[in-house]
Amino acid sequence: MVRVGLLFWDLVLSFMWVWSGALVRIFVYSFLQLGRSPEGETLKVVLSVFYMFFFAWLAVVSRGGAYNPLTVLSLAFSGSLDGFLFAAFGRIPAQIVGSVAGVKLIKEVFPIVGHGSRLNVNIHHGALTEGVLTFMIVMVSLGLKKKDPKSFFMKTWISSIAKLSLHVLGSDLTGGIMNPASAFAWAYARGDHITLEHILVYWLAPIQATILALWSFRLLWGPKESEQKHIEQQKLKAE
C-alpha cells in the first residue's frame, strides 16, 4: 500500500507541477501583461517560491511523493536493487504520465500557454548546461539532507532559491528545466520527444550528472562520516 500511495502521489504531484509553472507564466505575462519587466520577473519569482513551499509541504504530507525523476533516482541509487527497480519502472513512469496529462490538459484549457522550453544552443552545449545545473542542484539537495536543518522553512527556502537561480542561468539556453519528466511532457506535446537532442540533453545528461553528484558527495563527505561512526563504535566498546 505504501508503494501504491507513492505512485499515486508521484502522478498527482507531477500533474500539479507542470500546471503551477504554466499558471504563473499565464498570470504574470498574459493576465497582468507585465511581460519581461522587472516587476513581472519579481512577481514570477515570488509566486514560484510560494508554490515550491507548497510542493515541499506536499512531499512531507505524501511521505516521499515527488514530481522529478532525478529526486527519485538520487534516492534509488543510494538504496537497494528492489528500490531502484521500483523507481525506474514504477515511480518515474508515473511521473511521466502525470506530467504529460498535465501539459495536455493545460494546453487545451489555456492555448496561450505556449509550447514549453526549447533547446536554443547546439546539442553538446545543451547537454553540458543541463548536466552542470543538475549537478549543482543535486549537490545542494544532498548537502541540505546531510545537515538536516530542523527548520522546514530554512531548508525549503535554500532549496527554492537555488533552483530558481539555476533555472535563470539556464533559461535562455535549455530552459533550465532540470526535470526530465516535465521536459518530456512539453516535448511530447510538440512531437519532438524521441529526438536525439531531447534524449541526450534532458535525460542522459541530467541522469549522468545526478550519478556524478552522488559519487562526488560520497567521495568528499562519505569517509568523514564513516570515520565518525567508527569512533562512536569504539567509544561504545570502550564503555
- What's the pLDDT tens digit per position in 104-158? 999 999 998 888 888 999 999 999 999 999 999 999 999 988 876 668 898 899 9
Say yes or no to pLDDT of 25 above 70: yes
- Over residues 43-56, the pLDDT tens digits come to 999 999 999 999 99
Q: What is the pLDDT, as a whole number, of residue 235?
A: 45
pLDDT confidence of residue 127 = 96
More confident residue, 80 or 182: 182
Q: Report the pLDDT value the prediction gives residue 123, as an integer from 0 to 100.
A: 94
Write down the H helix ranges in 87-204.
92-109, 123-147, 152-170, 180-190, 196-199
CA dist 110 to 48, 106, 113, 193, 227, Å? 19, 6, 6, 21, 56
What pLDDT is recorded for position 193?
87
CATH 1.20.1080.10: does it fit domain 2-238? yes
pLDDT at 140: 94
What whole-number percentage of the chain has pLDDT above 70? 91
- Residue 113 DSSP label: G
Write b or e for each residue in 56-67: b if 16 or more Cβ atoms lie within 10 A of its Cβ, otherwise e: bebbeebeebbb
pTM over 0.85: yes
The C-alpha atoms of residue 105 and residue 176 are separated, in whole angstroms, by 23
pLDDT of residue 237: 42
Q: By C-alpha distance, which of 145, 140, 185 is closest to 165? A: 140
| The three grid cell numbers given for residue 128, joined into one nine-digit string | 553540458
Q: What is the 3-state secondary structure (H, E, C) of 36-97?
A: CCHHHHHHHHHHHHHHHHHHHHHHHHCCCCCCCHHHHHHHHCCCCHHHHHHHHHHHHHHHHH
Which pLDDT band, with edges at 50, 70 and 90, does 176 fall under?
very high
How many whole angstroms separate alpha carbon 91 and alpha carbon 105? 21
Average pLDDT, the chain: 89
In this prediction, residue 75 carries a pLDDT of 86
Q: Is the pLDDT of residue 228 over 60?
A: no
Length of the chain measured in residues: 239
From residue 58, how far is each of 50, 51, 134 by CA, in Å? Answer: 13, 10, 22
Instruction: Report how far Cα 119 is from the mean position of its chain's Cα atoms.
Output: 18
Give the model confidence (pLDDT) of 211-221 as tens digits.
999 999 999 88
For 150, what's the count of Cα atoms within 13 Å in the CB-facing half-sphere?
Answer: 0
